[in-house]
Amino acid sequence: MSTVATHSLPSRPFISHENLLFNYPDADVILRSRDSHEFHVHKIYIVHASPILGEKILTSPNPQPEPTPTISAERDVEGAVANALCMVQLPIEGAILFSLLTYIFQVPQVLPSTVRQVMELLSVAQMYKMDNVLTQIRNHIARQEPPFIREETAYLIYSLSLKHGLRTEALRAARRTLGILRFTINDLAKENRLDVMPGAFLHELWKYHQRVRSNLTIDLGEFKKSIVPTIPKCRSPTDLGLPCWLDAYISDIESACVPTLLDINDFYNALSMHLNEYVHGCHSCMYSLRSNIRELWKALTTVVYGSIVKVRITFFVLPQEPERLYRPSQISPFSLRGRGLRAKPDKLVKLPLYY
């Protein structure tokens, strides 16, 4: 069985243009990147991985061997074989194509070294309908430390996801921004958010936050009403009948719209502070409520996360270029009009984004 000669892989994956090499000795197709890197591979693996690339390879004509100047018999044979290989030109950067091939062949999988390249890799796998490869890449990303989608990268990943039509990453990044983005001109400019994404994308993120907040308000309001009959009378109840500490804790989650505020230690601390307000404690909360506090916590977290999951976002597609979701020149910078952010995308189609 043939082996793959690749560049030396360090302990921490790194891709460099200078040492990209993928060369099967008995390869039957050459994949050529847009920056002129050539990868000698077996077409059968590519055909199985991608129906689109497979069709492109199978319909590409095999060139006839060209005569070469006679230097030696060995060199003549090597030149004839190389010239006879089918060459397929792809509009993919060499580093991205190399990384993609590591998820197709039995070699160590290599993620690109930057966020933008990782997003482009996901986009290419999706564009060529490589479902199994896309799953492998996402599983590889999920094992990264620190997490790939985190506070420092969420906005960039959200923008690039919309650009490339990556629905899963777009929604996950949007959820990660909950509670860490304030939509005022001064705050956005101070945090350099105006340069991270086009105005149309930023406007959609703002609307996503508004829908999450609205959902939380409705669902948590219903949750409060539903648990009143199950909770003993507190020494300091609200008008609704809830213990004041519990109502305040739920209201903080609702107003901040931050799912990361859900911490069971903070929940217990809120109860403890309430009990310490009285000399002899609040007996109903101290004895009756404490017995089912975990059930109450589980119900609250289910409502909050369920409320967030119900919210979707929208992405923009240029009909004439389905694989590219926007051109920078066609999306105007966002402006603040009235009470909300608005953008003027030109010739854009809005489609629902499901996850």
What does the pLDDT read at residue 119? 96
Q: What is the total count of domains within the chain?
A: 1
- Whose tokens are 């004439």? That residue is 320
Angle at 283 between CA 278 and CA 285, to 5 degrees: 95
Within a domain: residue 158?
no
Strand (E) or helix (H) holding 181: none
Q: Mapping DSSP to helix (H, G, I), strand (E, B) and coil, where does residue 152 land?
A: coil
Residues with pLDDT less than 70, the chain: 1-20, 61-84, 179, 181-196, 257-261, 278-281, 287-291, 315-355
CB neighbours (10 Å) of residue 181?
20
- Whose tokens are 């920056």? That residue is 35
What does the pLDDT read at residue 254? 79
| pTM of this prediction exceeds 0.75 | no
Measured CA to CA, the distance from residue 165 to residue 315 in angstroms comes to 7
* Two tokens, residue 97: 């194509």
- Whose tokens are 């009990």? That residue is 275
DSSP notation for 42-105: -HHHHHHH-HHHHHHHHTSPPPPPPP---S-HHHHHHHHHHHHSEEEE-SS-HHHHHHHHHTTT
What does the pLDDT read at residue 319? 39
* Two tokens, residue 32: 């050529």
Within a domain: residue 176?
no
What does the pLDDT read at residue 280? 65
Cβ neighbours of residue 313 closer than 8 Å, sequence gap 6 or more: 170, 171, 174, 204, 205, 207, 208, 353
What does the pLDDT read at residue 232? 75
What does the pLDDT read at residue 192? 61
Measured CA to CA, the distance from residue 325 to residue 302 in angstroms comes to 34
Cβ neighbours of residue 23 closer than 8 Å, sequence gap 6 or more: 4, 5, 39, 40
pLDDT per position as a tens digit, 61-119: 665 444 444 444 444 444 444 456 788 999 999 999 999 999 998 888 999 989 999 99
Q: Are 137 and 163 in contact (CB under 8 A)?
A: no
What does the pLDDT read at residue 103? 95
Q: Which domain holds residue 83?
A: 5-113
Q: Are 114 and 96 in contact (CB under 8 A)?
A: no
Phi, psi values for residue 30, rounded to 5°: -115, 125
Measured CA to CA, the distance from residue 9 to residue 15 in angstroms comes to 9
Per the rule left: phi > 0, alpha: psi between -120 and 50, beta: everything else, 263 is: beta
- CATH number of the domain to which 15 belongs: 3.30.710
Within a domain: residue 200?
no
What does the pLDDT read at residue 259? 61
Angle at 192 between CA 188 and CA 193, to 5 degrees: 55
Angle between helices 244-256 and 199-227 (to 10 degrees): 160
- Whose tokens are 């402006």? That residue is 335
Within a domain: residue 230?
no
Q: Mapping DSSP to helix (H, G, I), strand (E, B) and coil, where does residue 350 land?
A: strand
> Measured in Å, how far apart are the chain's first and last C-alpha atoms?
41
Cβ neighbours of residue 305 closer than 8 Å, sequence gap 6 or more: 259
* Two tokens, residue 225: 């009403």
* Amino acid symbol at 324: R
Q: Are 105 and 78 in contact (CB under 8 A)?
A: no
DSSP notation for 286-346: IIIIGGGHHHHHHHHHHHHHHHHHT--EEEEE-TT-TT----GGGBPPPEEETTEEE--BS
Within a domain: residue 30?
yes
